[in-house]
Amino acid sequence: MYKKIGEMKNFEQLIYNIFQPLFEATQDPSSHPKLHIFLQRVIGFDTVDDESKAERRHYRKFPRARDWNTDENPPYTYYIYYLFANIASLNVWRKQRGFNVFVLRPHCGEAGDPDHIAAAVLCCHSISHGLVLRKIPLLQYIFYLEQIGIAMSPLSNNALFLSYDRNPFKSYFKIGLNVSLSTDDPLQFHYTKEPLVEEYAVAAQIHKLSAVDMCELARNSVKQSGFEHALKQKWLGLDYRTPGAKGNDPRKSNIPNVREGYRHETLYGEDAMLKMFGAPKARLSVSNLEPQRTTQTEQNPVSPTEGVAMSVMTHPSATNPLTASQSFSAAGLPQAALSQHRQQIAAHDDQPQTAAAEMHHNEDDSHSNDLYSTIARTTSFDVRNGNLPRLTPGMIMHSERARRRSSVFNSPELVARVRSIEEEDDKRV
């Protein structure tokens, strides 16, 4: 649009118009005093557009921003990349100067290509809408593992793209994705003075949400938000960043520890499964990679106003109960487990449960040690024959229990013991 009316010649000028004043205000706040004060109240950046518009690829290889001088709009991924790169650079400088930093929270996945969701995984702190995830199980699984925030607005989607009964909000929530309810254009799509309460009320009536479900959604919303760390502690408790029941304060959140413990252990079960069964599949591709893990105390704080450049990381997920800096390979497997235990598993190919049993000793989270050791002791899948558990979130523990139950009742010792008891009963009769 700006190119057609003659205000800009290339895409680089658009980027300059957005970020040059921000860099100048960071360098010398007195040069833009009002902007400097305004930036202290800004949490992040959003991108709003009609994602359903078709994106035509005019270049085999995308040019630099200064060379994009055609009348056609750059694709969504092109916008996201340049926004992320400049926000990351700006955050480093603002962190060094003690100013607040920003995150990237775009409208993403409401419609359009799956590439939008893939770009969000790499560059964004959290997203809004995310309806397209229902069609892409792989990216949905990555969103689950990384606990990337998804702020959904079913009432807005009902008016524009997807009817309320087909909205995937309930399925996302049941699976364990980090979803929350949010408003979108309340003056256009809502009918009351409290549009957010309207979103919660309609969702509770349509999806039959319980009081615990509503409280969990509200807790996710607070954790995804950009409010200060002190405010989040006041609303959720002092240890709200600690995953699982240890970080839950039922007096603040009104969520039972059983619910938080289930979410936490299910997520760690998926992580443990990937560590145990991912390494043999990726030996040749990860031999030169080093593990990158951080402890819970080293994780970045949730609030972007605490002076930590979260956008500098590949994916700065503030609510990830695993590790904030954990990198993923092309197959979506944690590099830490693959690199750290590759040689151990190679040396114990005939006993995969032995290599898996050693993995829990290297974990930093003491709460997860018992879970890792339990899974390692009770798992004897033959990874060479592809006998793996289901990769559906939350199903690893269930499938493992069913396998153990069937293997115990089919053991020769138990069968012989039952037969001997039956023979004794027959003789007694």
Residue, of 192 and 315, whose pLDDT is higher: 192
pTM, rounded to two decimals: 0.65
Does 282 lie in the same domain as 195?
A: no
The fraction of the chain above a pLDDT of 70, given in percent, is 68
Residue, of 124 and 365, whose pLDDT is higher: 124
Quote the DSSP letter at residue 98: T
Domain that holds residue 61: 11-255
User: Could you confirm whether 229 is annotated as catalytic?
Assistant: no
Residue from 273, 300, 270, 299 nearest 364 by CA: 299
Instruction: Please give the angle made by the CA atoms of 370, 372 and 375, to the nearest 5 degrees.
Output: 105
Out of 129, 190, 315, 341, which one is annotated catalytic?
Answer: 129
Does 247 lie in the same domain as 274?
A: no
Q: What share of the chain is helix, strand, coil (3-state, %, to 5)?
A: 55, 5, 40
Does 21 lie in the same domain as 48?
A: yes
Does 349 lie in the same domain as 233?
A: no
Amino acid making up residue 66 = R
Task: Give me the half-sphere count of Cα atoms (radius 13 Å) on the Cβ side of residue 225.
Answer: 19
Does 284 lie in the same domain as 211?
A: no
Does 190 lie in the same domain as 276?
A: no
Total domain count for the chain?
Answer: 2
pLDDT at 205 over 80: yes
Residue from 384, 385, 368 nearest 376 by CA: 368
pLDDT category of residue 23 using cuts at 50, 70 and 90? very high
Does 245 lie in the same domain as 288?
A: no
Q: In whole angstroms, what is the distance from residue 5 CA to residue 33 CA?
A: 31
User: In 10 A of CB 197, how many CB atoms?
Assistant: 12
pLDDT at 324 over 70: no
Angstrom distances, CA of residue 323 to CA of 10, 87, 258: 39, 22, 23
Predicted local distance difference test score (pLDDT) of residue 395: 35
Residue from 163, 133, 138, 139 nearest 151 by CA: 133
Those residues whose C-beta lies under 8 Å from the C-beta of residue 282, and which sit 6 or more positions away, are: 329, 331, 333, 338
For residue 200 the two structure tokens come to 């919660």
130-149 pLDDT, tens digit per residue, is 899 999 999 999 999 999 99
Does 249 lie in the same domain as 164?
A: yes
Those residues whose C-beta lies under 8 Å from the C-beta of residue 246, and which sit 6 or more positions away, are: 239, 367
Mean pLDDT for the chain overall: 75
Give first-to-last CA distance, the chain, whole Å: 94
pLDDT at 41 over 70: yes
Does 237 lie in the same domain as 148?
A: yes
pLDDT category of residue 162 using cuts at 50, 70 and 90? confident
For residue 385 the two structure tokens come to 């024959």
Does 238 lie in the same domain as 93?
A: yes
CB burial of residue 180 (10 Å; 0-12, 13-18, 19+): buried
Domain annotation covers residue 173: yes
Predicted local distance difference test score (pLDDT) of residue 334: 45
Domain annotation covers residue 300: no
Domain annotation covers residue 46: yes
Amino acid making up residue 274 = L
| Average pLDDT over every residue of 322-336 | 39
Domain annotation covers residue 311: no
Domain annotation covers residue 285: yes
Q: What is the CATH number of the domain that holds 23?
A: 3.20.20.140
Largest CA distance in the chain: 102
3-class SS of residue 35: helix
Residue from 114, 112, 95, 113 nearest 103 by CA: 95
Domain annotation covers residue 160: yes
Residue, of 319 and 161, whose pLDDT is higher: 161
Does 288 lie in the same domain as 190?
A: no
3-class SS of residue 179: strand
pLDDT category of residue 3 using cuts at 50, 70 and 90? confident
Does 356 lie in the same domain as 216?
A: no
pLDDT at 18 over 90: yes
Domain annotation covers residue 385: yes
